[in-house]
Structure 1
Amino acid sequence: MDCNLQSNYKLSKTEKKFLRKQIQARHTLLRHEGIETVSYATQSLVVANGGLGNGVSRNQLLPVLEKCGLVDALLMPPNKPYSFVRYKTAEESKKAYVTLNGKEIVDDLGQKIILYLNFVDKAQWKELGPQALPPGLIVIEEIISSEDEEMLLKSVNWTEDTDNQNFQKSLKHRRVKHFGYEFHYENNNIDKDKPLPGGLPDICDSILEKWLKEGYVKHKPDQLTINQYEPGHGIPAHIDTHSAFEDEIVSLSLGSEIVMDFKHPDGVTVPVMLPRRSLLVLTGESRYLWTHGITPRKFDTVQASEGHKSGIITSDVGDLTLSKRGIRTSFTFRKVRQTPCNCSYPLVCDSQRKESPPSFPESDKEASQLEQEYVHRVYEEIAGHFSSTRHTPWPHIVEFLKALPSGSVVADIGCGNGKYLGINKDLYMIGCDRSQNLVDICRERQFQAFVCDALTVPVRSGSCDACISVAVIHHFATAERRVAALQELVRLLRPGGKALIYVWAMEQEYKKQKSKYLRGNRISQGKKEEIISDTSMQGLLVEHMPDPGNQDSASSVPSIIDFQETGCNSRKAANSQLPVHINRTSFHSQDVLVPWHLKGNPCKDKPVEPFGPAGCHDSSPVFHRFYHVFCEGELEAACQALSNVSILQSYYDQGNWCVILQKV
């Protein structure tokens, strides 16, 4: 509907609703992306909800736009829920504005999406910088013939007796076979003392000999893992343990193409296309320093032109579209290492680090005991000191709470000292926490709070309009318990209710947004940039977070990551083999113990820094809290494991991964 025509007649209820949503979409684009719309007709339009990040491909959107005129360009930025279209004339653009505004289209998954169009003077978005493949990584296309591919796929018998030692059925979202040695996913390692009978399949011999002869691989592998992935599933970002395998790791992709994400510890992410029948070879830095993983999703952003098959997904917004995933089978070959690793990356090398290798709970009982010792007991001990560092609310969380309708019932699960319970006086908020001492502090402040475990909240199902969970889920020691905690949040919500969740991020620097947790770390510097990932949004019209403001200044809002965690006395915690994290450094393990120095130490008269004075030798008590820090995409994947939720928004906020989900 043309804005100039709106005053000529009375708007219907439906038209008023549409106009309100169109205005909200325009406001959202300006607020989060800096996209300014104009009220007069131009050749260019921004199409809200019509983007790659919203599940709309170029092949779906372009024919719809071309019905209104000759499209000069369609620009689709990666991972964004909007696109830009430029018509040959302003008249054609105006026709699209009138005709397509509010148009409902159906994506490849059968979900309905409503488009909202606004005029712009020019297309603008935050561009990705130039990227190169991680050093040591190569992709060889068409490494085998289609006949060999068919032969290899048919050779894998997924229906054989599940008691066979080469069969692994414990993985939830994919089928797996191991040959030579079993690959243990809990620590990305193998047991060198327990080889599997039979070695590698004979069918692989001729292929491996050819690769050796042609120089694609230097070591003949003695370990093979075959994975079969259903569309929509992936693998968490990880590095294969240094001490377990030689430098070279190679993976053959069969059946379907996939985009694999490679991440440097400083936060740089490089998406790499692995075509069908291609070979990925990891050596050197790409093998030892960069994590690699596959983000769980139904579609990948790929090059639209036929000329780009493998390698980096470029930022050419005029040549990007979506590719629907199919069933993919990977053959990953490794050579078991017989001597300690002496790579050039000692900080992330388990052979060269002095601490013992991490130990992980092997059962729910062990996980519960770990949490009791390194979470519950610690918070009871440090409650008063912890509370004294928790006084400034986070802007994004405040915005979420203030956007809720007056009278909403809101539960803060893991409320700590209750700093969010009094943010919006128009809400009825209740809090709960595992720590009796923290709940007592809430009550002293006249807040409604009670003691309970986040896995079993004694509140009636469907009774809450919203929930928040800030820095809680990462304290659970297994993936199953983390998903159970998310499910408990959803249980509390009424249909349509929303939950906001924050967890610590493995990536403490992400696309130039540097966590204040790394302040003082001079390895990498970058300017502030807010990153919002809307890959699972059904639309832009949801509660969004405000801009973070001047978070690079010394007076800015503190990070959720604790102020009082210092590097002082960061020794191995008693009775645990989990690594103790070193303050102000990037995380090198997802499961760590983080030291907390109790107030009243000999360093207190020295100049105070946000994370405690460096180099201080402290004789006061040091407590260690267990954390599972989340890799990019891991929180979304955990939420997608729930059957009755929709992810409205996911984003990175100063060293934390954050999700807003809705119960459906």
Structure 2
Amino acid sequence: MLECNARTKLSKEQKKQMKKEAKAKNILLRHEGIETVSRPTKSLVVANGGLGNGVSREHLLDVLKTHGLVESLIMPPNKPYSFVTYASPEAAVSAYSSLSGQEVPSMDEEQKVSLYLSFVDKVEVKETPPPALPPGLRIAENIVSPEEELVLLDSIQWETDNSNQKSLKHRRVKHYGYEFRYDNNNVDKDQPLPGGLPKFCNVLLDRCVAQGLIQNMPDQLTVNQYEPGQGIPPHIDTHSAFEDEIISLSLGSEIVMDFRHPDGTCVPVMVPQRSLLVMSGESRYLWTHGITPRKFDVIQVSEGQSVGTVSGNTDELTLSKRGTRTSFTFRKIRHGSCKCAFPSVCDSQQALEKKSPPQVKDLEPESLEMEYVHKVYEDIAGHFSSTRHTPWPKVVDFLMGLSVGSLVADVGCGNGKYIGINKSLYMIGCDRSKNLVDICGERKFEACVCDALSVPFRRGSFDACISIAVIHHFATEERRLAAVQELVHLLKSGGKALIYVWAMEQEYKKSKSKYLKDGKLSNETPQESAPSLPIHTNRTAFDSQDLLVPWHLKENNQGRNNEFCSAKREKQLLPGSVYHRYYHVFREGELEALCGRVTGVTVRHSYHDQGNWCVIVEKL
């Protein structure tokens, strides 16, 4: 009797877990714009069964075809779902009835995942032709034989303890000719390593010259050994350090290398085992190249498609498990400056054009904001959005405390992270950046492009407004006052506005801003605005109220937000680039005093939160 009850209890728990997972599946599908239907059809969406969560085409197809003839299996890249179409509705019904909740193997850590199936009327997956290889990029397949591959791998004496062998983030690295420095992607040209290039590379290099793959004989070699799951961040080999051609031999395993243009275009390139990657011209000087850390890659199934890009037809994609890979990267040391055709990313040419900080006296407020606020956010919109995904709790509390059906304006909404917080509100956003407003549109949020000093919404019609981290971007007190007045104009009598601005006092009582994490507080007395705008050092205390704050472009975490990679809205963006944004940071009491100059409102509450001074004002 006890054993029977235990089984019954376990069965209920399993059903509860399945319902929970099914609900999560439906939320995912709605988020992806996939419409499911309750009636049987020939086509099904297979949630949790996609390339994005480690399910290979071969494993999934083996499971699906046991229920009937499969006409097509569409597996979109990097998505945790797929679409299967059977030859008959009966086969689809059989799969739907039997496979929901069934586990299939995953290539990710050898775990299993549970499938969840739903009917769809039709499968509409936008097919895009594979992008062309970056100009100047070539791949020479089978540049060495399997026997030569073994000789090259055996020739690396990893166990030898000398200055040429390094350990980099659990990766074995060995240098010849010159040591490659990963801190600056450069070499010390005055400190060559003894011995030059190893003789076991001579046959390969002579073959490259004979086949016209390289023009200059390399004099620097870096050997890296990558275990499955390891990668390298996107980068451009420093222009002034090396000549045009950079070649890399892949041994032991194939790999997908990601090339990214400054306009946001991403090209995943399959580099087969025993092949040579040759970067020259634009692909060497302008495009970044890197390897995403993961244990499997999306590749083409079809024969003859091992070389090239891998973002083409979704019915030809599968997963390839990575093995231990050893790369031989050869470079030619450059003596002298680089004179390439890409000055925007050339360290030699940028050093000649280095400019001093802008002079406040030389810029009108509107020009200052246009150059160091509007243009910057327009350029970094995708990357900025990828870092703005966690709402601040006290802003959420304000929105959740509003009455059901309230009309709310988010002035300076950015990517719209607060617009969908409270589903019982009617929220509309606006922002000066068209690219950020476009991101709101992609998320199905209502938003428009406008200036915070002239919001095209009906006056006196909103129950509440929020202005989060916006007003500190206005360059004069008069313009900051006008921004507050514009918020008040939107409110109806009794309406409230929540305003956040950066605080000069980043440490207040016992609540320290995350902005100072790992930084140091200055003991110096804050200075008034200087004739030139100082460039602030991130993670340190502010020593001026008017300043430029750097925005450092960094590579996004794979899978978390792909806007920086896929969107073509950014202009001339490269990881490692720095943009400067103008800020006026507020002293304690300054925001309340500013709001006090607006007629017809009262400050109901003021506080310090997340390194910001914050107020809630009410229209009388």
Aligned to 2:111: 111
Alignment of 1:177-188 (within 5 A): 177-188=174-185
Alpha carbons of 1:551 and 1:193: their partners in 2 closer, same or farther (altered >3 Å)? farther
Q: Secondary structure at the match of 1:66?
A: helix
Distance (Å, rounded) in 1 between the aligned partners of 2:528 and 2:265: 36
Equivalent position amino acid for 2:119 in 1: F
Q: Is the 8 A contact 1:396 1:548 kept in 2?
A: no
2:165 aligned with 1:167 = yes
Distance (Å, rounded) in 1 between the aligned partners of 2:331 and 2:64: 49
Match of 1:248 among 214, 220, 245: 245
Aligned to 1:143: 143
Aligned to 1:374: none
Distance (Å, rounded) in 2 between the aligned partners of 1:629 and 1:234: 19
Q: Is the 8 A contact 2:252 2:273 kept in 1?
A: yes
Distance (Å, rounded) in 1 between the aligned partners of 2:178 and 2:474: 40
Distance (Å, rounded) in 2 between the aligned partners of 1:23 and 1:558: 34
Q: Is the 8 A contact 2:296 2:321 kept in 1?
A: yes
Distance (Å, rounded) in 2 between the aligned partners of 1:314 and 1:199: 40
Equivalent position amino acid for 1:168 in 2: K
Q: Could you tell me how far 1:168 is from its partner in structure 2?
A: 1.3
Q: Could you tell me how far 1:18 is from its partner in structure 2?
A: 2.5
Alignment of 1:219-618 (within 5 A): 219-354=216-351, 419=395, 422=398, 528=438, 547=443, 549-550=445-446, 553-554=449-450, 564=473
Alpha carbons of 1:527 and 1:252: their partners in 2 closer, same or farther (altered >3 Å)? farther
Aligned to 1:632: 556
Q: Could you tell me how far 1:562 is from its partner in structure 2?
A: 10
Q: Any stretches of 5+ residues in structure 1 without a counterpart?
A: 1-10, 358-385, 387-393, 402-411, 427-470, 472-499, 501-515, 532-545, 567-597, 604-619, 637-646, 658-664
Distance (Å, rounded) in 2 between the aligned partners of 1:25 and 1:226: 44
Equivalent position amino acid for 2:103 in 1: E
Q: Is the 8 A contact 1:43 1:88 kept in 2?
A: yes
Ranked by relative contact order (alpha carbons within 8 Å, sequence separation 6 or more), the top structure is: 1
Distance (Å, rounded) in 1 between the aligned partners of 2:221 and 2:85: 50
- Structure with larger Rg: 2
Q: Is the 8 A contact 1:251 1:332 kept in 2?
A: yes
Alpha carbons of 1:267 and 1:74: their partners in 2 closer, same or farther (altered >3 Å)? same
Q: Secondary structure at the match of 1:353?
A: helix
Alpha carbons of 1:98 and 1:561: their partners in 2 closer, same or farther (altered >3 Å)? farther
Q: Is the 8 A contact 2:171 2:225 kept in 1?
A: yes
Q: Could you tell me how far 1:624 is from its partner in structure 2?
A: 4.5
Which digits, 9 at most, give the CA deviation of each residue in 1:265-298, with x for residues without a partner?
A: 1111000000000010001111011000000000
Aligned to 2:21: 21
Alpha carbons of 1:65 and 1:321: their partners in 2 closer, same or farther (altered >3 Å)? same
Aligned to 2:84: 85
Q: TM-score, normalised by structure 1?
A: 0.58
Q: Could you tell me how far 1:70 is from its partner in structure 2?
A: 1.2
Alpha carbons of 1:323 and 1:530: their partners in 2 closer, same or farther (altered >3 Å)? farther
2:202 aligned with 1:205 = yes
Q: Is the 8 A contact 1:53 1:82 kept in 2?
A: yes
Aligned to 1:70: 69
Q: Could you tell me how far 1:252 is from its partner in structure 2?
A: 0.4
Q: Is the 8 A contact 1:74 1:85 kept in 2?
A: yes
Q: Is the 8 A contact 1:263 1:270 kept in 2?
A: yes
Q: Could you tell me how far 1:602 is from its partner in structure 2?
A: 11
Equivalent position amino acid for 2:163 in 1: Q
Q: Secondary structure at the match of 2:244?
A: strand
Pick which of 553-562 and 223-232 moved more: 553-562
Q: Could you tell me how far 1:124 is from its partner in structure 2?
A: 2.5
Alignment of 1:25-104 (within 5 A): 25-31=25-31, 33-104=32-103
Distance (Å, rounded) in 1 between the aligned partners of 2:172 and 2:191: 21
Alpha carbons of 1:125 and 1:621: their partners in 2 closer, same or farther (altered >3 Å)? same
Distance (Å, rounded) in 2 between the aligned partners of 1:398 and 1:337: 41
Q: Could you tell me how far 1:233 is from its partner in structure 2?
A: 0.6
Q: Secondary structure at the match of 1:142?
A: coil
Q: Is the 8 A contact 1:149 1:254 kept in 2?
A: yes
Alpha carbons of 1:552 and 1:103: their partners in 2 closer, same or farther (altered >3 Å)? farther
Distance (Å, rounded) in 1 between the aligned partners of 2:235 and 2:315: 32
Pick which of 126-135 and 221-230 moved more: 126-135
Q: Is the 8 A contact 1:77 1:315 kept in 2?
A: no
Which digits, 9 at most, give the CA deviation of each residue in 1:147-178, with x for residues without a partner?
A: 111110000011111xx121112x11311011
Q: Could you tell me how far 1:309 is from its partner in structure 2?
A: 1.2
Q: Could you tell me how far 1:354 is from its partner in structure 2?
A: 3.1
Equivalent position amino acid for 1:86 in 2: T
Q: Could you tell me how far 1:110 is from its partner in structure 2?
A: 2.4
Aligned to 1:364: none
Aligned to 1:511: none
Distance (Å, rounded) in 2 between the aligned partners of 1:558 and 1:257: 50
Distance (Å, rounded) in 2 between the aligned partners of 1:127 and 1:328: 31
Q: Is the 8 A contact 1:72 1:87 kept in 2?
A: yes
Distance (Å, rounded) in 1 between the aligned partners of 2:290 and 2:304: 25
Q: Is the 8 A contact 1:45 1:120 kept in 2?
A: yes
Residue identity over aligned pairs, in percent, reads 49
Q: Any stretches of 5+ residues in structure 2 without a counterpart?
A: 1-10, 355-372, 374-383, 403-413, 418-430, 453-465, 476-526, 533-543, 576-620
Q: Is the 8 A contact 1:395 1:548 kept in 2?
A: no
Q: Could you tell me how far 1:554 is from its partner in structure 2?
A: 3.3
Q: Secondary structure at the match of 1:232?
A: coil
Aligned to 1:192: 189
Equivalent position amino acid for 1:167 in 2: Q
Which digits, 9 at most, give the CA deviation of each residue in 1:372-407, with x for residues without a partner?
A: xxxxxxxxxxxxxx9xxxxxxx99999966xxxxxx
2:547 aligned with 1:623 = yes
Which digits, 9 at most, give the CA deviation of each residue in 1:280-329, with x for residues without a partner?
A: 00011110110000000000000112221111113211110000000000
Q: Could you tell me how far 1:26 is from its partner in structure 2?
A: 2.4
Q: Is the 8 A contact 2:177 2:219 kept in 1?
A: yes
Equivalent position amino acid for 1:18 in 2: M
Q: Secondary structure at the match of 1:293?
A: strand
Q: Could you tell me how far 1:35 is from its partner in structure 2?
A: 0.9
Q: Secondary structure at the match of 2:206?
A: helix
Structure ranking higher in helix proportion? 2
**When the two structures are aligned, how many residues end up with a matched partner?**
430
Distance (Å, rounded) in 2 between the aligned partners of 1:245 and 1:166: 19
Equivalent position amino acid for 2:262 in 1: P
Q: Could you tell me how far 1:355 is from its partner in structure 2?
A: 6.3
Q: Could you tell me how far 1:21 is from its partner in structure 2?
A: 3.1
Alpha carbons of 1:399 and 1:205: their partners in 2 closer, same or farther (altered >3 Å)? closer
Q: Secondary structure at the match of 1:39?
A: coil
Equivalent position amino acid for 1:253 in 2: S
Distance (Å, rounded) in 2 between the aligned partners of 1:176 and 1:208: 20
Cα RMSD for the two superposed structures = 4.0
Q: Could you tell me how far 1:356 is from its partner in structure 2?
A: 9.3
Alpha carbons of 1:127 and 1:632: their partners in 2 closer, same or farther (altered >3 Å)? farther
Q: TM-score, normalised by structure 2?
A: 0.62
Equivalent position amino acid for 2:259 in 1: F
Distance (Å, rounded) in 2 between the aligned partners of 1:333 and 1:146: 20
Distance (Å, rounded) in 2 between the aligned partners of 1:562 and 1:286: 41
Q: Could you tell me how far 1:121 is from its partner in structure 2?
A: 1.0
Q: Secondary structure at the match of 2:313?
A: coil
Which digits, 9 at most, give the CA deviation of each residue in 1:416-473, with x for residues without a partner?
A: xx646755569xxxxxxxxxxxxxxxxxxxxxxxxxxxxxxxxxxxxxxxxxxxx9xx
